Amino acid sequence: MTRLLTWHDEWSLNIDVLDAEHQGLIEHLADICRRFGPEASPRRSGDAFALIDALTDLGEAVREHFKREEELMQAVGYDDIADHRTEHALLMAEYADQLRHWRAEGMNVFGEDAQEDARDWILDHILGADRDFAKAFHEVDDRLTSTVDRYGIAARARLNAVRRGL
């Protein structure tokens, strides 16, 4: 029986925009598992192209997410942005390798092992370096909040922009 990856509240970074995207990525993967997992394949009789396309789309969604995350890091002046960028690049290279491998073997059912690889890949990101960034983000957020208390409206607009991930 396919074990679908579902969101756990303890994975929250308390940064709304990133939590929503992480939940979206987990749901995206779960959707692929439902559509192409072993339980679905008797009805589908396997479709390698559709499965690889769906997995490629997931990779693109993660790439977009990384981009927005890096923009947010830039906006708050995160010191370790270079390391985090490198980690994103490595994760994307790892996924490209995986996709090549799946394509080469003509995978047409998203089996347990492949699902686990994809699950680990996404969780590596969500439970890894993002937690360090969240810590730094909240320190900046606390500093900005005290600035808002001192300087009022203009600082508040800036704080709200940062919180929205702009």
Specify the residue, 107 or 130, whose C-beta has the smaller distance to Fe ion: 130
* Shortest distance (Å) from residue 98 CB to Fe ion: 18
Nearest to 33 by CA among 70, 67, 58: 58
* Shortest distance (Å) from residue 152 CB to Fe ion: 32
Binder to Fe ion among 130, 133, 137, 144 (CB under 5 A)?
130
In the range 56-85, which residues lie near Fe ion by CB under 5 A?
A: 69
Specify the residue, 69 or 108, whose C-beta has the smaller distance to Fe ion: 69
Helix (H, G, I), strand (E, B) or coil at 158: helix
Specify the residue, 69 or 144, whose C-beta has the smaller distance to Fe ion: 69
Query: Number of residues in contact with Fe ion, rule: CB under 5 A?
Result: 2
* Shortest distance (Å) from residue 126 CB to Fe ion: 6
Helix axes 81-104, 129-151, angle to 10 degrees: 140
Q: What string of DSSP letters covers 7-26?
A: --GGG--S-HHHHHHHHHHH
Helix (H) and strand (E) counts for the chain? 7, 0
Please state, in angstroms and rounded to a whole number, the distance separating the CA atoms of residues 5 and 33: 9
Instruction: Catalog residues that contact Fe ion under the rule CB under 5 A.
Output: 69, 130
